[in-house]
Structure 1
Amino acid sequence: MDLRQLKYFVTVARERNFTRAAELLHIAQPPLSRQIQQMEEELGVQLLVRSSRPIRLTDAGRLFYEESQQVLGRVEQMKDAARRVGHGERRVISIGFVASTLYGGLPTVVRRLRQARPEADVRLVEMMSGQQVEGLKNGRIDIGFGRIRTADLSVERQVLREERLVVAIPPGFALAAEDTPLKPAELKGQKLVVYPSEPRPSFADQVLSLLRDHGVRPPEVQEVRELQTALGLVAAETGVCLIPASARLQRSDLKYRLIDDEHATSPIIMSYRRNEDEALIALLKQLIREMYAENPPWLDTSYNRLHSP
């Protein structure tokens, strides 16, 4: 078994279709099918259920797919690192992030990481939480800061804090007349703006699930791609929007009320590959602990539940 065969298998498993995979790999379908069949014969197990449409992975196939992604991603990392050392370039540390983490401590952590590792080129890559898992496995990023919990066993995660959710309300709405925490049931009948519209599942699904748990089904839901757009629509009185507490600092022309529910939180999660660059992970955790100890304004405990790494 060689790396070429692993790449073939990963492409077929991802596309769930031999024809599309062959087109992407620029080879004919029959030799592609033979290569996958040879892998199965070598392993002594079936990886794909070819009779289903689309093609389905067996349990062994799912495991082999996850492991193959890690192997191919690691190979690309090794090649990139060798090229950089050979050309005298600095090591790159790529950090994936969801945009809302910029309103809290991420800029401080990145700034201090650059100070602690001046020899490294620290780069930021905006990507959704689900995309970060794939980015970690294929080597595109080294660290991810997101909001959605995943169950992928190849990725370690640590909840750094849980931000309470607030409702962004147009000043002219009746709900804006009070400052007290708002029970989710009080949102019945309100039009809702959610983000991001894709990819899913996302923070939008978390918000909709929370409201359903309280019997709230908005008469109208408008999905948008970005938080800034969502808040702009709230300012235009399109509806209300649930957001992490730190994002309330983005617009001062709206009313914000805490959601009165202990489960109405959005976690900040640091994710990284298992057994990968333990020194870098330890440094990041130390920088986060130091930042928490300084008690910055956005870390107001009335809006956050802290989990020190």
Structure 2
Amino acid sequence: MDLRQLRYFTAVARERNFTRAAAALHIAQPPLSRQIQLLEEELGVTLILRDSRPIKLTDAGRLFYEQALQILGRVDQMKDATRRVGLNRNQVLPIGFVASTLYGGLPTLIRKLRQSAPELDIQLLEMLSIQQIPALKEGRIDLGIGRLKHHDPNIASAVLRQERLVVALPEDSALAQQDGPMPLSMLAGQRLIVYPNAPRPSYADQILTLLQDHDIRPSDVLEMREIQSALGLVAADSGICIIPSSARQMRSDLRYRVIDDPGATSPVILYYRAGDRSRHLDLVKRLISDMYAENPIWLSDNNLPGVPDAGQD
């Protein structure tokens, strides 16, 4: 077994088609098929079910795919780190994040991290929560900060806090003329704008599930790609949108009301690879705990009391 075979197999598993995988790898299909066959013979198990369209992975194939992604990701990281040491460059720490966390503690955390570890070249990559899980496994990021709970055994997570949800309203709407928390029941019959529209599951599904659990039915649901577009439509009086409380800073031309329900929250979650024992992960967890201990205004205004420890899984 060699790295070339791992790359060939992951390409086939990703494309679900030998012809497309061969094209992506810039090789002919027969040698690609032969290398996969040799890999299966060495392992003594079938990895791919070839008689389906598109092809499917067996249980062993899915496990092998997950492990192969991690191995290839770590190899790429090793090559990059080695080059950087040889060229006297800083170590890279890529961090994925969802856009809404820019209005909470993320800027403060990154500022503290730069001060505590100036040798790090911190790269911030905006990506949806669901995109951060494969990015971690493939080694494209080392840490992720998102809002979606997952069940991938290869990725560990820590819920950093539960952020309150608020309703963004057009300034001249009837609901915006009242102050104070808004009962969920008042959202019934309203035109709801959710984001992102893809990929799913996503934050949009959290919001729709919250309403379904309370048997609240909007008159219509409009799906947008990102939070900026969703709030722009609210400003245009095209509907209402439920957002994390800290994201209220994005637009000052809307009215915001906190939802009066203990379950109306969105978690902020730290993702990292299971088994990661790096000192930078420990440093990030410590800095998060220190940041919460300072009880900044954005924390007390937007979150439920009792912020968990950053190391809690």
Please report the TM-score for the alignment, with normalisation by the length of structure 2.
0.95
Shift of 1:95: 0.9
Matching residue of 1:202: 202
Structure 1 CA distance for aligned equivalents of residues 302 and 58 of structure 2: 47
Structure 1 CA distance for aligned equivalents of residues 164 and 118 of structure 2: 35
Q: Equivalent residue of 1:179, what SS?
A: coil
Shift of 1:132: 1.0
Deviation track 1:245-290 (CA, whole Å, cap 9, x = no partner) reads 1111222322212222222211111111122343111111111111
CA contact 2:166–2:242 (8 Å) conserved in 1 = yes
Matching residue of 2:288: 288
Matching residue of 1:115: 115
Q: Percent identity?
A: 61
Please tell me whether residue 143 in structure 1 is matched to residue 110 in structure 2. no
Structure 1 CA distance for aligned equivalents of residues 168 and 73 of structure 2: 41
Matching residue of 1:56: 56
Structure 1 CA distance for aligned equivalents of residues 257 and 131 of structure 2: 31
Shift of 1:155: 1.2
Give matches, 1:7-26, under 5 Å: 7-26=7-26
Stretches of structure 1 that go unaligned for 5 or more consecutive residues are none
Shift of 1:302: 6.2
Matching residue of 1:273: 273
CA RMSD of aligned residues (A): 1.4
Q: Which is worse superposed, 67-76 or 207-216?
A: 207-216
Deviation track 1:4-48 (CA, whole Å, cap 9, x = no partner) reads 001111111111111111110111112211111111111111111
Please report the TM-score for the alignment, with normalisation by the length of structure 1.
0.96
Please tell me whether residue 252 in structure 1 is matched to residue 252 in structure 2. yes
Stretches of structure 2 that go unaligned for 5 or more consecutive residues are none
How many residues end up aligned between the 2 structures? Answer: 309
Structure 1 CA distance for aligned equivalents of residues 220 and 302 of structure 2: 31
Shift of 1:91: 0.7
Q: Equivalent residue of 1:172, what SS?
A: coil
Please tell me whether residue 37 in structure 1 is matched to residue 37 in structure 2. yes
Give matches, 1:74-223, under 5 Å: 74-223=74-223
Shift of 1:182: 2.2
Structure 1 CA distance for aligned equivalents of residues 260 and 92 of structure 2: 43
Please tell me whether residue 304 in structure 1 is matched to residue 304 in structure 2. yes
Deviation track 1:122-155 (CA, whole Å, cap 9, x = no partner) reads 1111111111111111111111111111111111
Structure 1 CA distance for aligned equivalents of residues 101 and 91 of structure 2: 24
Matching residue of 1:234: 234
Letter in 2 for 1:30: P
Deviation track 1:138-173 (CA, whole Å, cap 9, x = no partner) reads 111111111111111111110100101111111222
Structure 2 CA distance for aligned equivalents of residues 303 and 249 of structure 1: 15
Structure 2 CA distance for aligned equivalents of residues 185 and 40 of structure 1: 56
Q: Equivalent residue of 2:198, what SS?
A: coil
Letter in 2 for 1:7: R
Q: Which is worse superposed, 283-292 or 222-231?
A: 222-231
Structure 1 residues 275, 15: CA separation in 2 closer, same or farther (over 3 Å shift)?
same
Shift of 1:224: 1.6
Runs of 4+ displaced beyond 6 Å: none
Deviation track 1:52-102 (CA, whole Å, cap 9, x = no partner) reads 111111111111110000000010011111111111111111111111001
Letter in 2 for 1:308: D
Structure 2 CA distance for aligned equivalents of residues 190 and 173 of structure 1: 11
Structure 2 CA distance for aligned equivalents of residues 89 and 62 of structure 1: 37
Shift of 1:184: 2.3
Shift of 1:176: 1.7
Structure 2 CA distance for aligned equivalents of residues 217 and 69 of structure 1: 41
Structure 2 CA distance for aligned equivalents of residues 302 and 73 of structure 1: 36
Structure 1 CA distance for aligned equivalents of residues 243 and 112 of structure 2: 27
